[in-house]
Amino acid sequence: MPTIRLGVPSDHPHMRPIEEAADSLFHAAGVELGQTGAGPADDAPYAEGLRAGRVLIAEDDAGEPVGFLYLESLDDHPHIEELAVHPRAQRQGLGAALLRACYALCRDRGARALSLSTFSHLPWNAPFYAREGFVVVPEAAWTPGMLALRAHEARLGLRLAERVLMIRSL
């Protein structure tokens, strides 16, 4: 049975390979993830997130990290910046387990909502989150933080027509 735990700074080297392996599925589906310029300097948010207790780690039965959920803040609530599961560990409920652990963590910290931005047309993105209780936020209801996030995604080169902002009550 996989384990979900709050990450610690020493987990930092394990996150990038999980992210890169998971991203390969997007590339195979013809999705451009934008120009993030990922490199060693881009690991700083992971390290900070781990120090601040905003990263959940999924481990396989051998204790090897195979997935993570990375939280940031958006407006007045937590925001899932990234949820990634290594392809060799997918379709085993790890994404849902990471989400359930995230709900509990966020509720324990007093949050009443959780948001994310994701691709609308990929079955492992918006449809997955919809099954988990997330709903699409209509553009007319976007907050200042959501508008800033959408502008950031545009600067990264993401195809905004393929993305939705979603939120879930906790």
Q: How many CB atoms lie within 10 A of CB 136?
A: 15
pLDDT at 46: 79
Q: β-pairing, 77-85 with 113-119?
A: parallel
In this predicted structure, the answer to whether residue 113 has a pLDDT above a threshold of 90 is: yes
Q: Tell me which amino acid residue 49 is.
A: G
Helices (H), 55-157: 94-108, 126-131, 144-156
In the chain, where the domains are located? 3-169
Under 8 Å CB-to-CB from 4, ≥6 apart: which residues? 56, 57, 58, 59, 97, 98, 100, 101
Q: Please, which pLDDT band fits residue 9 given cuts at 50, 70 and 90?
A: confident
pLDDT tens profile 115-169: 999 999 888 889 999 999 999 999 999 999 999 999 999 998 888 999 999 999 9
- Token readout for 154 is 């545009």
Q: What is the pLDDT of residue 41?
A: 46
Tell me the per-residue pLDDT of 35-45, one tens digit each, with 9 for 90 and over.
544 444 466 77
Domain 3-169 fold = Aminopeptidase (3.40.630)
Q: For residue range 51-101, list pLDDT tens digits in order.
A: 899 999 999 888 889 999 999 999 999 999 999 999 998 888 899 999 999
CA atoms within a 13 Å half-sphere pointing along the CA-CB vector of 60: 13
pTM of the model as a whole: 0.89
Cα dist from 66 to 32, 81, 129, 141, 152, whole Å:
23, 17, 20, 35, 28
Please give the Cα distance from 103 to 78 (Å, whole number).
10
Task: Quote the pLDDT of residue 27.
Answer: 78
pLDDT greater than 70 at residue 34: no
